[in-house]
Chain A
Amino acid sequence: MAKREIPEVNAGSMADIAFLLLIFFLVTTTMDSDTGLARTLPPIVPVDQEPPPPIKDRNVFRVLLNSQNQLLVGGELMDISDLKEAAKEFIENPEHKDDLPEFKEEEVSLLGVVEISKGVVSLQSDRQTEYQAYLMVQNELAAAYNELRQALSRKKFAKNYVDLEDEERKAVREVYPQRISEAEPKNVGGK
């Protein structure tokens, strides 16, 4: 048998096939990575559980958001741009004022005994509040906590909060725990 020469496979259309696949993937996929504000919801409270003890008035930072997206903080009308500073002052209470939250001293690993604010942020919205307004409030509160944590981790560990080790981050979180409580929304502007 004479050796027959095998003709070469024509690969000219390979590019076309690859392009076809490429275009398919370009069309059916998305590149945007999802971002958002992470929050944890409180678990459902059993019906027979005793109500928690009342919190002192000075320890509560009341944020109300009405159906017109107006902000009422501690009884006063406030612009959203001022909320972060107000929240920071409330949580930190740098001058130990009497009308701002109390402290309790607690042992935190790595940091020793620190004063931890007993402050709680209470947020209540209306059923007609716009989602964007609500999210901005959540955002500003989160920003307040993040900035305080950032300041503390710079001071204690000379690192940015995002670069901390797990242990250290836990300690910082213990000093500034995010305590945002959400009440059932009202339905004043209701339909």
Chain B
Amino acid sequence: MGKFKKSKSGGQPAINTASLPDIVFMLLFFFMVSTTMKEVDMKVLVSPAQATELVKLERKELVTFIYVGIPLRAFQSLYGTEPRIQLNDQFATVKDIQSYIAQSRDNMRESDQAKMIVSIKADKESPMGVITDIKQALRKAAALKINYSANQVAQ
């Protein structure tokens, strides 16, 4: 036997890894372009509702989010287990919505202000009472374009 020759130097030649950074950078740029930053830390639990007639929110800079849901466990001792509203990173009440909308409208470009969309991300089990209050507040704040956030129904 003894037909298998050992290579003279012992080990195999090292693979050239010079292009590895390029590949990784390519991946990096892909993710930078195709993803968006997380807007806020969620303080309420939102399991999204489901629907079929959905439209995509195309331009993120036009969208302001209002979250509704039961506070996460860590906040339950302070805020209870009733559905609450979250604006930005804070718990809020219906009264805060008007100033929140005005503030986020001020932060937008003037040409975009009329196109502002408010997306209501509510937990699917939250009662309509809270959402109706939000809608009334939005009407008062003249933010009339809204979007009930929902996911596609799983087939």
* Contact A31 B55, CB 8 Å, known A37-B148, A41-B144, A135-B148: no
Q: Which of A90-98, A99-107, A108-116, A138-146 contacts B (4 or more CB under 8 A)?
A: A138-146
> With a CB–CB cut-off of 8 A, which chain B residues contact A18?
21, 24-25, 28
Shortest beta-carbon distance, B61 to chain A, in Å?
13
Question: Hey, which chain B residues are within 8 Å of A38, CB to CB?
Answer: 55, 117, 145-147
Option from A29, A37, A42, A44 in Cβ contact (under 8 Å) with B55: A37
B115 contacts partner chain A, Cβ-Cβ < 8 Å: no
Binds A, one of B2-10, B29-37, B89-97, B106-114: B29-37
Residue of A nearest to B122 (CB): A131
Partner of B57, one of A33, A126, A131, A132: A33
Q: Is B72 an interface residue (CB 8 A)?
A: no
Closest-CB distance, B80 to chain A (whole angstroms): 13
Please tell me which stretch of A19-27, A56-64, A151-159, A166-174 contacts chain B, meaning at least 4 of its Cβ atoms lie within 8 angstroms of it: A19-27
Q: Give the complex CA separation of A19 and B25 in angstroms.
A: 8
Main secondary structure of the interface of A (DSSP, over half): mixed
Shortest Cβ distance from A138 into chain B, in angstroms? Answer: 7
Q: Is the CB of B148 within 8 A of A15?
A: no
User: Given contacts A22-B24, A35-B149, A37-B53, are A29 and B124 in contact (CB under 8 A)?
Assistant: no
Chain B residues, CB < 8 A from A25: 28, 31-32, 35
Which chain B positions have C-beta within 8 A of A33? 56-57
Any chain B CB within 8 A of the CB of A81? no
B45 within 8 Å of A (CB atoms) = no
Taking the closest CB of chain A, its distance from the CB of B26, in whole angstroms, is 9
Which one of A19, A30, A126, A138 lies within 8 Å of B38 (CB-CB)? A30
User: Contact at B127–A130, with CB atoms within 8 Å?
Assistant: yes
Instruction: Give the docked Cα–Cα distance between A129 and B125 (Å).
Output: 9
A127 touches B128 (CB 8 A): yes
Given contacts A37-B55, A43-B142, 12 further A-B contacts (CB under 8 A): A34-B119, A35-B56, A35-B149, A35-B152, A128-B128, A129-B127, A134-B128, A135-B148, A138-B51, A139-B52, A185-B129, A187-B129
Provide a sorted-by-A list of 17 A–B residue pairs whose CB atoms are within 8 angstroms.
Answer: A11-B21, A14-B21, A29-B32, A29-B38, A30-B35, A30-B37, A34-B57, A35-B149, A36-B54, A36-B119, A40-B144, A127-B129, A130-B125, A131-B127, A139-B51, A185-B128, A185-B129
Interface residues of B (CB under 8 A from A): 17-18, 20-21, 24-25, 27-28, 31-32, 34-38, 49-57, 60, 63, 68, 117, 119, 122-129, 131-132, 135, 138-140, 142-152
Interface residues of A, Cβ cutoff 8 Å to B = 11-12, 14-15, 17-19, 21-22, 25-26, 28-31, 33-44, 125-132, 134-136, 138-139, 142-143, 146, 184-185, 187
| The 9 residue pairs across chains A and B that have the minimum distance between CB atoms | A127-B129, A29-B35, A132-B124, A18-B24, A14-B21, A36-B147, A139-B51, A36-B149, A35-B54
